[in-house]
Amino acid sequence: MKTLLLICDGMADRPVPELANKTPLEIAKKPNMDWLAKRGICGLMDTIAPGVPPGSDTAHLALLGYDPYETYTGRGPFEAAGAGIELKAGDIAFRANYATVDDKLVVKDRRAGRIHGTEPLSAAVGEIKLKGAEFIFRSTVGHRATLVLRGDGLSHEVTDSDPHEEGKKPLQIEPLLHAPEQAVPAYPIIVGGVRKYVVRRRRAAKTARLLNDFSRKAYEILKTHPLNRERVKKGHPPANYILLRGGGIVPHLKPFHERFGIKGACVAAAALVKGVCRLAGMTVVDVPGATGGVDTDLDAKAKAALRALETHDLVLLHVKGFDEASHDGNARAKIGLIERTDAMLNQFIDMADFIAVAIDHTTPVSVRQHTSDPVPILISGPGVRADDVRTYGERSVAKGGLGWIRGKNLIPIIVDLMGKGIKFGA
């Protein structure tokens, strides 16, 4: 049994007054999705929980069957995994920016003039050695980088150094937890008791100290680095400071094939989605031409997904551009991509036993941000209890036979339809 799981990032919407109070999905011509909805079973899904707008990282954790409340502490680990860094459970990972600071350490440019080609800088910073943890520092795309701390007794419960605006100094990294003697009256119920709290607090303090030392050393290395001297000479802002944010601990995710007994692959352009799939132990396929925008090469992605289906039981095909169009408030671009994606879907109809269409979250063109409105899903394939839903849309599926599920329910439902359900009890 082979399954294509198409995830359309941010495709769901709210009624748009300019579209006669219909949504882009309700307006678009999408004969393949509608045909699948007729043959299949439909429903609504709260990816995380009712009223909770999902992030891209938490949404995909949930869609792969992992409870984000148990596995998510920050974006860093998923970015780092998406950048191809080999991570271990327990590593602490941060998103990093190369930034420009002046002599008084005031941030003049959070992106160091959108610098490219920072590999010589990351090689130099990567030499930093501090007692207490191993540091892995890697440039990723443009002005971005990623920092991983590896060692015993570390914590993700620390603040960012990124002030998130220019004209301010980088922030001192602090433990997020108050000292226990302060905390006890304020938080009468401390999860795990005071003893565990004291340990957490000690780890956070150690991690904060290491990160502040790292930041200082990195600044010393970067301010005199030949590449930055060259940039200053040319009038470009030097990349002389590393701002850290989004720290999280790498969760132990039981690998997808061990949990569900099937081999999974992921075809995606978005590094964050790739990172989640990689941490879940799925095969991650790189596709040249997949940009993550509305101009992405859908055909190349489809071909890659078809190839992956030959050697895997389930292929997650992620199309990102809907979210981009929504962030731009561009309903027309969104409708266009829905129609192109629907056409692309046609070639899977004879090639996969099951086709599931899901959306990670709603991004209304009117709001331009992720919202918590539930998303429509459909599953088509042998044995499903086909309902009387005739078209795939936010409102049409509300009375479908799948009812109302959470994101983390989707893969178990699909896996059971594939004949690989995992019985609880005897």
Query: Rounded to whole angstroms, how far apart are CA atoms 255 and 159?
Result: 30
DSSP, collapsed to helix, strand or coil, labels residue 306 as helix
Query: Rounded to whole angstroms, how far apart are CA atoms 130 and 117?
Result: 26
Residue whose CB is less far from a copy of itself, 142 or 412: 412
Residues 6+ apart with CB under 8 A from 320: 9, 268, 269, 270, 273, 292, 293, 296
Query: Rounded to whole angstroms, how far apart are CA atoms 115 and 102?
Result: 17
Min. distance of Cβ 49 from a copy of itself in angstroms?
A: 7
Strands 354-358 and 3-8: parallel
Query: Rounded to whole angstroms, how far apart are CA atoms 19 and 335?
Result: 11
Residues 6+ apart with CB under 8 A from 224: none
Residue whose CB is less far from a copy of itself, 130 or 405: 405
Residue whose CB is less far from a copy of itself, 237 or 376: 376
Min. distance of Cβ 300 from a copy of itself in angstroms?
A: 27
Min. distance of Cβ 417 from a copy of itself in angstroms?
A: 8
Compute the CA torsion angle 192, 194, 196, 198 (nearest 10 deg). Answer: 150
Min. distance of Cβ 35 from a copy of itself in angstroms?
A: 17
Min. distance of Cβ 46 from a copy of itself in angstroms?
A: 9
Min. distance of Cβ 423 from a copy of itself in angstroms?
A: 4
Cα radius of gyration rounded to whole Å, the chain: 23
Min. distance of Cβ 381 from a copy of itself in angstroms?
A: 11
C-alpha closest to that of 240 among 276, 265, 215: 215
Residue whose CB is less far from a copy of itself, 66 or 301: 66
The dihedral of CA 166, 169, 74, 54: what is its sign?
Answer: negative
Residue whose CB is less far from a copy of itself, 65 or 238: 65
Token code pair at residue 359 = 């959306």
Query: Rounded to whole angstroms, how far apart are CA atoms 120 and 100?
Result: 17
Residue whose CB is less far from a copy of itself, 229 or 399: 399
Min. distance of Cβ 122 from a copy of itself in angstroms?
A: 22
Residue whose CB is less far from a copy of itself, 63 or 285: 63
Q: At what angle do helices 331-345 and 31-39 cross, to 10 degrees?
A: 60
Q: Calculate the alpha carbon distances from 386 to 35, 347, 414 in Å.
A: 12, 22, 14
Tell me the Ramachandran region of residue 5: left when phi exceeds 0, alpha when psi lies from -120 to 50, beta otherwise: beta
Helix (H) or strand (E) holding 57: helix 56-63
Residue whose CB is less far from a copy of itself, 37 or 384: 384
Min. distance of Cβ 103 from a copy of itself in angstroms?
A: 33
Q: Which amino acid is at 119?
A: E
Residue whose CB is less far from a copy of itself, 41 or 115: 41
How far is CA 153 from its chain centroid?
26
C-alpha closest to that of 139 among 128, 127, 123, 150: 123
Min. distance of Cβ 220 from a copy of itself in angstroms?
A: 30
Min. distance of Cβ 307 from a copy of itself in angstroms?
A: 28
Residue whose CB is less far from a copy of itself, 8 or 413: 413
Residue whose CB is less far from a copy of itself, 55 or 238: 55
DSSP, collapsed to helix, strand or coil, labels residue 379 as strand
